[in-house]
Amino acid sequence: MNIAKNGHHLSGLGVHSSSPRISWTSSAIDESICDWKQSQYGNAVLRETGPPAHLVVQSAESSLVAWPSTPPHEPQEPLRPLFFRKAFVLPSASGSVYRARLYITALGSIGLFDVDSLITTKGDNVLCIEVAEGRYIYGDRIAVMEVGGFAAERFQIVSDESWKCHPSPILSSEIYNGQIYDARAEVGDWNKHGPLYIDADWETVSVLAFARERLYAPNAPPAPITDQLTPKRLFTTPSGRKIVDFGQNMVGKLLIHSMTLPVNASDLHPRRGVGRWELGTRPLRGAQSVDTIISSGRPLIDWSPRYTFHGFQFVQVEGWDPEKEQSWQTNIRALVIHTDFKRTGRMGGNFLSIPTDCPQRDECLGWTGDQVFGPSATFLCDCIGMLSEWLEDVVCEQLEHYALPRGRSPMFWTTCGHPFPRLCVLWQLGDWLDPQAPPDQHGDGGASGALVADAYLVHVTSRMADIASVLESKTESTHYSCKAQRLCALFQDRYITHSGLIVGDSQTASSLAIVFGALSTKHQLDTARRQLAARVRKAKLRVATGFAGTPIILRALTDNDNLSLAYRTLLEDRCPSWLYPITTGATTIGNTGTLAPRDFGQLHRAANCRARVASVDHLSRYW
């Protein structure tokens, strides 16, 4: 037996997961032995101390099987946020301040702030910083404040041994699990000169070696609070839980203006949906998404969790009853957060500093699938600055062979920034969230994963030729043009008959072939057009495509004399369809409504909401 992988890690040395899945290949000792099957497997787990643990499992599985023992190491817990503080007095010769700027970074990009109005020349100043984990684990803290006076040279305050530090009352805070806040650990006057500040309670700092990473000023706009939502209702579930409903899905966090909570731990559970009148938790997957408040018995004034965000509409409240507060409706708000775009349409929740997938669960990191949604996004908002910066990050993350480090990426998701895409994955997710796929097998739809991947391989190679031509790189343009032609011919041989019938006979397969120009003759195009129209009618105008097919099917219909059929498809409101979410109380076609459908089968069939929004680009250009 040969061990192949620990999860998707080639060697297992330095694997990050606390419980990696394992895979292996087997071969018979004697070549004459054939048609054998595995009936069980055994594992021996050796640790630094103690005897090895031998385990035998009755199973025929040999690919990505669960870790057979206790985790080899404990999962890394989030680091507790820290306060940093530096008191200073400007030199007496400085005169009045004409400019004061703060340059600050925790790891990576630099924040630049004008702080002229906050500086005084007549007494003490204090520079205070709170540092916590974000999308990167915080490392070197660098703060430089530069003050310019009319009567003197520049005065600088830098990160050095003169700073003091103290643990924050936030015990932990991160984007997946939420925040734990202990009001009893509040530090009085930590961010100002005041009588409650006690210097003896603060520790000195150590100065680390200067970071070698190149610091850069971000091009992307900031991600401020852009709106506030008031609660629409408070209801009690059949199990007796109190749930606050804000009326629409959003990305952000809660705000409590003024409220005294019981002296215990109170939990706030922001969630996106309610299923069967209880809070929906299944979409969270590995994320906890809970904000915990440990009350000190004193009122919370303008409290909001920091260094985290949630995708939610409903908030389940545990540990206290909002109805007992006379003014609970005016004291609780939902703060909407997204990158501060100039908007021509309505969008933003999935764009919070970087493009994310589903902000309500463990998918808040960069999402390469936004190459499908990108054209619609740039129509709805001026997001070029953010997306261009995101693509620079993608380039930095590429491996030596120009592939992105994602073990299960389908072809059309990994094309977001590739110089040349490669089929380097063992299996494809295919037309993800095809409504025809089983609820527990989202990639098992009508179009095969191989067809989707190969279609995007042809398309992206052709686009690379176009890009090279625009850049006047004749050699690269010729190279990619020839390769695109060869790949297109191979695609036709594999998936398209001489008459134009397409393997699989699905809406996605037909749409990809039509829009990506894989049909070589007018006869083939006419056949594919009729084939697609027949499949749309058979589906009774309801959505029968996933992430690969939904963004382009309206274009495939419109460009081939099926405009009326495209309109009828767009205006259909039975599940699943573009307008079905509106019938369930949704404010846009980009979510599944204020209440989940009564059965989870309907919820699954309506779940490819992001793909529906991706069709906005075609609607804006051609309709």
CA distance 83 to 127: 11
CA distance 578 to 580: 6
* 341: helix, strand or coil: coil
User: In which residue are the tokens 């809660």 written?
Assistant: 254
Which amino acid type is present at position 448?
S
Tokens matching residue 467: 């890009």
Which domains, and CATH codes, for the chain? 2-57 (no CATH), 82-214 (2.60.120.260), 227-337 (2.60.120.260), 413-584 (1.50.10.10)
* 144: helix, strand or coil: strand
Q: How far is CA 567 from the centre of its chain?
A: 32
Nearest to 251 by CA among 382, 381, 360: 360
Phi, psi for residue 587 in degrees, rounded to 5 = -90, -15
**DSSP code, position 322:** G
pLDDT in the model for residue 275 = 59
pLDDT in the model for residue 424 = 31
Tokens matching residue 255: 């705000």
Angle at 244 between CA 239 and CA 248, to 5 degrees: 120
CA distance 82 to 307: 12
CA atoms within 13 A on the CB side of 3: 14
CB 292 within 8 A of CB 267: yes
**Beta carbons within 8 Å of 559's beta carbon, 6+ residues apart:** 514, 515
pLDDT in the model for residue 54 = 83
CA distance 346 to 591: 13
CA distance 290 to 308: 10
Nearest to 459 by CA among 537, 552, 572, 361: 552
Q: How far is CA 494 from the centre of its chain?
A: 35
pLDDT in the model for residue 490 = 95
Tokens matching residue 99: 């400019």
Which amino acid type is present at position 514?
I
Nearest to 607 by CA among 283, 281, 248: 283
CB 254 within 8 A of CB 305: yes
**Beta carbons within 8 Å of 312's beta carbon, 6+ residues apart:** 246, 249, 250, 270, 271, 272, 289, 334, 360
| Residue ranges with strand state E in 347-490 | 351-352, 354-355
Neighbours of 186 (CB within 10 A): 13
CA distance 534 to 343: 38
Tokens matching residue 8: 């998707």
Q: Most distant CA pair in the chain: distance in Å?
A: 93
Exposed/middle/buried for residue 615 (C-beta within 10 Å: 0-12, 13-18, 19+): buried
* Regions of the chain short of the pLDDT cut 50: 1-7, 137-141, 150-151, 407-414, 417-427, 594-601, 604
User: In which residue are the tokens 């749930």 written?
Assistant: 243
**DSSP H helical segments within 90-240, as ranges?**
none
* 110: helix, strand or coil: coil
CA distance 501 to 444: 21
Q: How far is CA 497 from the centre of its chain?
A: 40
**DSSP code, position 249:** E
Angle at 557 between CA 554 and CA 561, to 5 degrees: 145
CA distance 492 to 487: 9
Q: Give the orientation angle of helix 522-538 with respect to helix 507-515, to 10 degrees.
A: 150
Tokens matching residue 512: 């990809």
